[in-house]
């Protein structure tokens, strides 16, 4: 459990690095502090949040900002399905678990071998990411102007490395699946709007596995 | 703006909640295996896009060596947070040098 907790806190801290750039970008996009914080507290889904501010910053309408973040949130639904069978939460816990069902919490949970660690990994990571993501958003929103661009600090590469770390334990048994997903996402990026190619890879997961 | 944010947040939450409201008995072993595979493909796709794609183009920039460094360190079982910081430092350093 100690090892799981240390992973969870590490993931939370790493997400925090990315959260700083979210807060800063949102401020640059012209959002007020209340709206920026509501995005991190209520929406609490990195890709959807970046899409939301990205569309608005690019001159898009509120409707298209809502639609983009909504479509990008669909993968949380897949995670939630998996997590529901792992956690079997009841009542209010269902709602809290749902809010915390994101890439990171599901990733750490799925990387564990036994059920107890899978549950622990979900809650510890979900809470750690929630705390650090929101603190970082606030910090970024307030200090964004001094930091300059996220790229200068390598925060874009940090985000890629953070996701690589989440999927790493699963890659060994899923090499072809992962390779196919990467190819579909990259090729799709040539002609599809941002966010859609990643979702398209769900089709890759539909191809049944022939042997273990 | 605040109202737009709240509507968008509820829209995103609807997916999360839906996953918990689908009755357990509908979730067969096949669906469970599928959602495990979905986790792998989505995370891998995020890695690929965030490493290689800028807008509608593939770009080999400082992110690629940074991810290479991350992969090597993960293989060496270096702690997660150290790897993430090393990846950021690699990209930031290369950009400082003009890549």
HEC string of A143-183 equals: HHHHHCCCCCCCHHHHHHHHHHHHHHHHHCCCHHHHHHHHH
Q: Which of B8, B18, B46 is nearest to A67 (CA)?
A: B8
Strand partners, B57: B54
Q: In percent, how much of chain B has pLDDT > 70?
A: 100
Query: Residue A12 is encoded by which pair of tokens?
Result: 């939370």
What residue ranges do the domains of chain A occupy? 2-150
Which helix (H) or strand (E) element contains residue B71?
helix B63-75
- For A82, the closest of B15, B35, B46 (CB atoms) is B35
Which of A84-93, A176-185, B49-58, B68-77 bottoms out in mean pLDDT, i.e. has the lowest? B49-58
pLDDT of res. A212: 46
Please calculate the CA angle A128-A129-A132 and round it to the nearest 5 degrees. Answer: 85
- In DSSP terms, which residues pair with B58 in a beta bridge? B53
pLDDT for residue A197: 83
* Highest mean pLDDT of the ranges B42-56, B61-75, B80-94: B61-75
User: What are the DSSP calls for A66-88, one per residue?
Assistant: HHHHHHHTHHHHHHHHHHHHHH-
Q: List pLDDT tens digits, range B9-41.
A: 999 999 999 999 988 788 788 887 887 888 889
- Please tell me the distance in Å from A91's CA to the nearest CA on chain B: 11
* Average pLDDT for B54-68: 92
- Cβ contact, residue pair A75, B42, below 8 Å: yes
Distance from C-alpha of B81 to C-alpha of A120, rounded to nearest angstrom:
19
Q: Comparing B94 with A30, which gets the higher pLDDT?
A: B94
Instruction: Assess contact for B19 and A49: CB atoms under 8 A.
Output: no
Residue A145: per-residue pLDDT: 64
Residue with tokens 């350093």: B93
Which pTM value belongs to this model? 0.79
Please list every residue in chain B whose beta carbon sits closer than 8 Å to the beta carbon of residue A191: 56
Separation between Cα atoms, residue B41 and residue A162, nearest integer Å: 15
- Which chain A residue is nearest to residue B63, measuring alpha carbons? A157
- Residue A29's H or E segment, with its range, is none
For B18, which residue in chain A has the nearest alpha carbon? A77
Contacts of B15 in chain A (CB under 8 A): 70, 73-77, 80
Tokens representing residue B54 in the block = 């800028």
Shortest Cα–Cα distance, B56 to chain A (Å): 5
Average pLDDT, integer, range B54-78 = 93
Q: Residues for chain B: how many in total? A: 99
Mean pLDDT of all residues in B92-98: 94
Provide the pLDDT confidence category of residue B42 given band limits of 50, 70 and 90: confident
HSE, CB side, 13 Å, CA atoms: give it for residue B21.
8
- Phi/psi for A193 (5° steps) reads -65, 155
Q: Is the pLDDT of residue B6 over 90?
A: yes
What is the structure's pLDDT at B94? 96
| B5 or A58, higher pLDDT | B5
Ranges of residues in chain A whose predicted pLDDT is under 70? 58, 145, 147-148, 209-212
The pLDDT of residue A176 is 94
pLDDT at A87 (0 to 100): 95
- Among chain A residues, CA nearest to B2: A35
Asked if B1 lies within 8 A of A35 by C-beta distance, the reply is: yes
């Amino acid at each position: 459990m100690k090892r799981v907790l240390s992973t969870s806190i590490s993931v939370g801290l790493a997400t925090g690095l990315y959260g700083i750039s979210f807060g800063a970008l949102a401020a640059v996009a012209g959002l007020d502090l209340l709206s920026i914080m509501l995005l991190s507290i209520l929406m609490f889904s990195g890709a959807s949040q970046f899409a939301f501010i990205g569309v608005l910053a690019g001159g898009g309408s509120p409707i298209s900002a809502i639609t983009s973040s909504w479509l990008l949130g669909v993968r949380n639904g897949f995670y939630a399905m998996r997590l529901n069978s792992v956690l079997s939460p009841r009542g209010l816990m269902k709602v809290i678990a749902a809010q915390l069902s994101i890439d990171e919490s599901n990733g750490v949970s799925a990387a564990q071998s036994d059920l107890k660690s899978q549950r622990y990994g979900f809650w510890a990571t979900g809470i750690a990411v929630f705390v650090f993501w929101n603190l970082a958003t606030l910090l970024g929103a307030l200090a964004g102007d001094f930091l300059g661009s996220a790229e200068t600090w390598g925060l874009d590469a940090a985000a890629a490395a953070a996701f690589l770390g989440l999927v790493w334990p699963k890659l060994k048994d899923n090499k072809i699946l992962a390779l196919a997903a990467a190819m579909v996402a990259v090729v799709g990026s040539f002609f599809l709007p941002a966010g859609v190619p990643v979702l398209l890879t769900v089709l890759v997961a539909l191809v049944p596995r022939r042997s273990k | 703006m605040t109202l737009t944010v709240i509507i968008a947040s509820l829209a995103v939450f609807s997916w999360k909640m839906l996953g918990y409201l689908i009755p357990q008995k509908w979730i067969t072993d096949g669906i469970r295996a599928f959602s495990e595979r979905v986790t792998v493909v989505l995370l891998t796709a995020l890695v690929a896009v965030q490493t290689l794609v800028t807008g509608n183009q593939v770009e080999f920039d400082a992110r690629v060596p940074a991810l290479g460094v991350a992969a090597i360190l993960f293989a060496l079982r270096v702690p997660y947070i150290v790897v993430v910081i090393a990846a950021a430092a690699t990209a930031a350093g290369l950009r400082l040098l003009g890549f």
